[in-house]
A and B are shown apart, each in its own frame.
Chain A
Amino acid sequence: MLALTYDVGNIWLDALLGLLAIVALMTVSTFMLIWLERKIAARIQMRLGPMRTGPYGLLQTIADALKLIGKEDLRPKTADRWVFELAPFAVFVPTFTAFVAIPFTRDWAIAFLDLGLFYVIAVTGLSFVGFLMAGWASDNKYALLGGMRAAAQLISYEVPMVVTLVAVAMVAGSLNLSEIVLFQGRVPLFVWQPLGFFIFIVAALAELERQPFDIPTAESEVVGGPFIEYSGIRWSMFFLASYTGLMIYSLLGAVVFLGGWEWPLGTEAGLWLQLLLIFFKTSLFIAFFMWVRFSLVRLRIDQLMSYCWKVLIPLAFLQVLLNGFVLVYGWPDGMLLVTSGAGLALAMYIIYRAVDTEPRELRMVPARGGGSSVQPATADATGFE
């Protein structure tokens, strides 16, 4: 992240500085994101949100974190000790390491990897192991149910996510995130590939386990799912991982689809402008994810799975096919936009058809003057009075 890291020259010191930078960034951004989420939730729900701790409740998250650190780290007696205690790390470490490869500006990243996109996907895809471990080791049926749901959901939605990003890599001709940004140049990819962009957002929502895909941790069904037996610092590690995941997917979306730090200012923009751009684009994603969270209800697990396997994955392959046409037959970008847009319209139509959206009319039976004369026909048939 810091140009400083390249100046030191000592590989161990570089690594250490990089780690410190990630940890600082993750912690600070998580604090801010939690505060922001609570404020957005409050605004949507016509409340004020945290107001007492610090100006506009800015210190609320810090107070909560201190409380969590002070809490007893409970472990059920029947839990599988090692698996239970390692599970938070198994969730935390993948999201943590994914941060390494994400560039923030042209010159700022912990590490510029040639296989950056591949690395980020591969590493974030590992976190389901931790959910499964937590669900299994807690020796709690809710946790087990939640862990199984998490595994099914995360693995399923990994597929459309990967396929759409493969489609991007095809046209960009590189897995290096910086080069993908450079490729987008004047017009970012979400314009040319609306279908891919849509699938990416949906899959990211599912990977993040946020509404309407918060099935693994569904509060009203499995009461927190895999996290049910966790408390204190271990629980907050899951929390930290989830908000870091939010950052990662938002950054990834901004870099891969919104033109990162270049569009619309071009390559000549200074460092601060680049930072401002990436911050703004990431915030757009984050605000969208939070907005969705508080305005939608949860899908059911079977609906979630069939939506993934029957709709998203075929359409993601459609995007790959279209990009293949671009590569092989040299389709102009406009053609890609039209076909991909048609795919997006198809996706919307499938959703529209799948759901019974027909408005229902209630029969209004007028009641006036003691309507005992209005005996329903069904009442006799069922022997009711």
Chain B
Amino acid sequence: MVQEQQLETVDINVNMGPQHPSTHGVFRMVLTIDGERVVDVEPHIGYMHRGAEKLSENMDYRAAIGFQDRTDYLAQFLNEQAYCMAVEKLLELAVPERTEYIRVILCELNRITSHFMFLGAFGIDLGYFGTSFTYGFRERERIQDIFEEVTGERMMYGYFRPGGLAWDVPDNFVQMIRDVLPHARQGLNDLDVLMTQNEIVAARTKGIGAMSAEDSVNWGLSGPMLRAAGIDWDLRKDKPYSIYDRFDYDIPVGSHGDVFDRYLVRLEEARQSIRIVEQALDQLPDGPIMPEKMPRRLRGPEAEVYAAVEGPRGEYGIYIVSKGGDKPYRLKIRPPSFCNLSALRDMTVGNYVADAVAILGSIDIVLCDVDR
């Protein structure tokens, strides 16, 4: 028999993932727990590594667009935008006016779908039995239908091209979007009513996983995570790219940096995206969608360029090193999910197991984006 003196409590390791309903893909975190308290978290990534960067280096500039869709599969247009912007910078291509508008419209709609996805999945992480998910997905699906109509694909669009677009949008493009936007706004309001005022949601999210502004910057967080902590850093405003300086919108900034603020910031951000889309639709000009003189083969000079967009998850950047020729010598992706995920341990340790799930959900990771 065991002597009483020899009895001791032992922290147990729980392998959360790679197959777990709330790790948003194939993320694996090894939780060391003392009862219900999290003592340590060790994230393991790489289950979804497909070598998107290396593959892009073996394709010419146009062919590599497909790989950009497959990194952050909830913000495909924004990835394509970042990649095309990098290539355009490298090749010094001037993008036509109409193309810029269409890109902005699609990117902002994409941001809305991504945030709908977040709101739905976040509710499930907190314990909704699918209610928030169906609320979010109902409206997301309408926007998804527009993407399908425009690009012919539901997920891997491959629609942007360096310098322009693959083809022009259908004639009813503007009308389609105008029809959908009220639904999107209503969907956001529904989710707002469902979750924001709910006492249990408040009890579960307020003050959980808080990051100070200083820590957020030191960890290199970006996107809603950073803005929830109180820093109004948005690339669309602070390093204006494309034509974002022509629109009137607000950047929502939180103050506590906790899970609840991240949720609120995303909810409001989706509303602001609707505003941008409305303005862009009003201003959408006619015209060509590709530059006048487009080279048949895209050959870059010897140069290094970096272009970044404000994705739904944060700064999504593409860094291209070219040594001439029609392929990049090196292509590096700066994935927002990966950088935001790095702060997971700091946020989680000391909280309960249930909080760990809520915090992971609030980071809004996409594993394809983390692992590339």
Contacts and interface: CB of A to CB of B under 8 A. Distances in A.
Interface in A29-58: 41, 44-47
B21 A368 contact: no
Interface string B132-165: 0111001000000000000000000000000000
Interface string A201-228: 0000000000110110011111100000
B131 A294 contact: yes
Interface string B215-230: 0011000000000001
Nearest to B351: A300
Nearest to A298: B127
Given A145-B33, A145-B353, A381-B214, 4 more contacts: A46-B138, A221-B354, A297-B195, A301-B352
Contact of B253 (A215, A295, A362): A362
Given A301-B352, A366-B250, A372-B240, A360 B261 contact: yes
Nearest to A293: B129
B194 to A, nearest CB: 8
B207 A356 contact: yes
Interface of A: 41, 44-47, 141-142, 145, 149, 211-212, 214-215, 218-223, 293-303, 351-352, 354-357, 359-360, 362-372, 374-376, 378-379, 381-384
A356 B261 CA distance: 13
B191 to A, nearest CB: 13
A295 B214 CA distance: 37
A362 B248 CA distance: 18
Interface string B250-272: 11111110001100110010000
A374 B237 contact: yes
A372 B239 contact: yes
A209 to B, nearest CB: 12
B217 A384 contact: yes
Given A221-B22, A296-B198, A378-B213, A370 B206 contact: no
Contacts of B133: 45
Most buried by A among B129, B133, B201: B129
Nearest to A364: B250
B286 interface: no
A367 B250 contact: yes
B264 A362 contact: yes
Interface stretch (B63-71, B118-126, B321-329): B118-126
A301 B354 CA distance: 8
Contacts of A145: 14, 33, 36, 353
B236 A367 contact: yes
Interface of B: 12-15, 20-22, 33, 36, 123-131, 133-135, 138, 194-204, 206-207, 213-214, 217-218, 230-234, 236-240, 244-245, 247-256, 260-261, 264-265, 268, 352-355, 357
Given A220-B124, A220-B125, A364-B251, A45 B264 contact: no
14 contacts: A141-B14, A145-B33, A149-B36, A221-B354, A222-B353, A297-B204, A360-B261, A364-B253, A365-B250, A371-B238, A372-B239, A372-B240, A378-B231, A382-B213
Contacts of A149: 36
Contacts of A363: 230, 232, 252-255
Nearest to B126: A297
A87 to B, nearest CB: 21
A379 B203 CA distance: 30
B249 A367 contact: yes
Nearest to A383: B217
Question: Which 10 A-B pairs give the minimum distances between C-beta atoms?
Answer: A298-B127, A367-B237, A45-B134, A220-B22, A370-B245, A370-B240, A364-B250, A297-B127, A365-B232, A297-B126
Contacts of B198: 296-297
Contact of A365 (B33, B237, B353): B237
Contact of B233 (A142, A214, A381, A384): A384
A364 B254 CA distance: 9
Contacts of B199: 351-352, 355, 357
Given A300-B355, A356-B206, A363-B252, A211 B234 contact: no
A296 B200 contact: yes
A211 B352 contact: no
Contacts of A302: 36, 352
A300 B129 contact: no
B256 A299 contact: no
